[in-house]
A and B are shown apart, each in its own frame.
Chain A
Amino acid sequence: MTTRSTPAYQAASLYNDYQFSTGSGYVLPEYPFVEPAELKADTLMRHPVVIVGGGITGLTLACALARQGVRAVLLDEDNTVGVKGAASRGICYTQKSLEIFDRLGIYDRIAAKGVQWSVGRTYAGEDEVYSFDLRQQGSYRLSEQPPFINIQQFYIEAFLVDRIQALGHVDLRWQNRLTGFEQGADVATLTVETPAGSYRMEAEHVIDASGAHSPLRQWLKVPFDSRRGDDRWCIADVRFTSRPPVERHTWIEAPFNDNRAVWQHLMADDVWRLDYQMAPDADPETVSSEAEVRKRLARQFGSDVEVEIVWVGPYAYRSECVHGMRHGRVFLMGDSAKVVSPFGARGGNTGVADADNLAWKLAAVLQGKADASLLESYNHERLEAAQQNVCVTNRTARFLRPAQRSERLFRDAVIGLARQMPFARSLVNTGRMAIANPYSESSACSYAPGSGAGQSVQNVRFAWADGSPGHVNDLLDWAGGNLLVLVFGDLSAACVQRLRRLCFDAPVRSVQVLGPDASPQALEYVRDPQGHLQGACHVFGHAWALLRPDAYLAATGETVDATLVTAIERSLGLR
Chain B
Amino acid sequence: MKLTPHFQDGDTFYEQLLDAHAELSREDAELFNARLILLLANQVGDARILRDCIEAAKLAPAKT
Chain B residues with CB below 8 A from A427, complex form: 38
- A residues 396-450 in Cβ contact with B at 8 Å: 409-410, 412-414, 416-417, 421, 423-424, 427
**Least Cβ distance of A479 to chain B in Å?**
39
List residues of A (235-289) whose CB comes within 8 Å of B's CBs: none
Check A424–B38 contact: CB distance below 8 A. yes
Give chain A nearest CB distance to B53 CB in angstroms.
Answer: 15
Cβ–Cβ contact A417 & B39, under 8 A: yes
B14 to chain A, nearest CB (A): 22
Q: Is the CB of A413 within 8 A of B42?
A: no
**Which B residues touch A412, using CB under 8 A?**
31, 34
Q: Within the complex, what minimum Cβ distance (angstroms) separates A412 from chain B? A: 6
B42 lies within 8 A of A423 (CB): yes
Q: Give the Cβ gap from B34 to chain A, nearest Cβ, in Å.
A: 4
Contacts of B38 in A (CB 8 A): 410, 413-414, 417, 424, 427
Pair A409/B31 contact, Cβ less than 8 Å: yes
CB nearest neighbor in B for A411: B34
Q: List B residues 25-42 near A (Cβ within 8 Å).
A: 30-31, 34-35, 37-39, 42
Please report the C-alpha to C-alpha distance between residue A409 and residue B39 in the assembled complex, in whole angstroms. Answer: 15
Q: Give the docked Cα–Cα distance between A335 and B12 (Å).
A: 56
CA distance A413 to B40 in the complex (A): 13
Q: Is the CB of B34 within 8 A of A409?
A: yes
Interface size bracket, B side: under 10
- Chain B contact residues: helix, strand, loop or mixed: helix
Q: How far is the CA of A423 from the CA of B39 in the complex (A)?
A: 8
Question: Number of A residues whose C-beta is below 8 Å from B?
Answer: 11
B35, B37, B42: which contacts A416 (Cβ < 8 A)? Answer: B35
Residue of B at shortest CB range from A413?
A: B34
Give the chain B neighbours of A409 by CB distance below 8 A: 30-31, 34
Residues of A within 8 A of B42 (CB): 423-424
Q: How far is the CA of A427 from the CA of B35 in the complex (A)?
A: 12
* A194 to B: closest C-beta gap in Å: 55
**C-alpha spacing A421/B30, complex, angstroms:** 20
Chain A, residue nearest B34 (CB): A413
Chain A residues in 8 Å Cβ range of B30: 409
- CB A125 to nearest CB in B, in angstroms, measures 16
| Interchain nearest-CB distance for B42 vs A (Å) | 5
- Please, which residues of chain A bring their CB within 8 A of the CB of B35? 413, 416-417
Residues in B neighbouring A414, C-beta threshold 8 A: 38
Give Cα A261 to B35, complex, Å: 22
Complex: A417 Cα to B38 Cα, angstroms: 9
Chain B residues near A423 (CB-CB < 8 A) = 39, 42
User: Inside 8 A of B37's CB, which chain A residues have their CB?
Assistant: 413
Taken together as a complex, chains A and B put the C-alpha atoms of A409 and B34 apart, in Å, by: 7
Give min CB distance, B32 to chain A, whole Å: 9
Interface of chain B residues 2 through 60 with chain A (CB within 8 A): 30-31, 34-35, 37-39, 42
Report the separation of the CA atoms of residues A152 and B31 in the bound assembly, to the nearest whole angstrom: 42
Specify the chain A residue showing the minimal Cβ separation from B27: A409
| Interchain CA distance A212-B38 in the complex, whole Å | 38
A410 contacts which chain B residues (CB < 8 A)? Answer: 34, 38
The docked-state distance in angstroms from the alpha carbon of A412 to that of B34 is 9
A483 to chain B, nearest CB (A): 36
A414 to B31 CA separation, bound complex (whole angstroms): 10
Q: How far is the CB of B61 from chain A (nearest CB, A)?
A: 20
Please name all residues of chain B whose beta carbon is closer than 8 Å to the beta carbon of A413 when the two chains form the complex: 31, 34-35, 37-38
B39: chain A residues within 8 A (beta carbon):
417, 421, 423
CA A106 to CA B34, docked complex, whole Å: 50
Which residues of chain A from 20 to 70 have any CB-CB distance to chain B below 8 Å in the complex? none
Complex Cα–Cα for A412 and B38 (A):
11
> How far apart are the CA atoms of A225 and B26 in the complex, in Å?
39
- Smallest beta-carbon distance B51→chain A, Å: 16
CA distance in complex: A185, B35 (Å)? 58
Interface-centre pick from B31, B34, B39 (highest chain A CB count, 10 A): B34
A275 to chain B, nearest CB (A): 27
A507-530 interface mask toward B, CB cutoff 8 Å, 1 = contact, 0 = none?
Answer: 000000000000000000000000
How far apart are the CA atoms of A424 and B42 in the complex, in Å? Answer: 9
Complex alpha-carbon distance, A569 and B25, angstroms: 67
Task: Enumerate A293-348 residues with CB–CB distance to B below 8 Å.
Answer: none
What is the distance, in angstroms, from A238's C-beta to the closest C-beta of chain B?
37
- The CA of A417 and the CA of B39, in the complex, are separated in Å by 9
The complex places the Cα of A423 from the Cα of B38 at a distance, in Å, of 9
**Those of A167-208 within 8 Å (CB) of chain B:** none
Residues of chain B within 8 A (CB-CB) of A416 are 31, 35
B35 CB, min distance to chain A CBs, angstroms: 5
> CA A427 – CA B38 in complex, angstroms?
9
Give 6 nearest A-B pairs by CB, closest first: A413-B34, A423-B42, A413-B35, A410-B34, A409-B34, A409-B30
Could you list 21 examples of A-B contacts with CB < 8 Å?
A: A409-B30, A409-B31, A409-B34, A410-B34, A412-B31, A412-B34, A413-B31, A413-B34, A413-B37, A413-B38, A414-B38, A416-B35, A417-B35, A417-B38, A417-B39, A421-B39, A423-B39, A423-B42, A424-B38, A424-B42, A427-B38
Listed in ascending order, the chain A residues whose CB lies under 8 Å from chain B are 409-410, 412-414, 416-417, 421, 423-424, 427
> Which B residues form the contact surface with A (CB < 8 A)?
30-31, 34-35, 37-39, 42
Seed contacts A410-B38, A421-B39; 7 additional CB < 8 Å A-B pairs: A410-B34, A413-B35, A414-B38, A417-B39, A423-B39, A423-B42, A427-B38
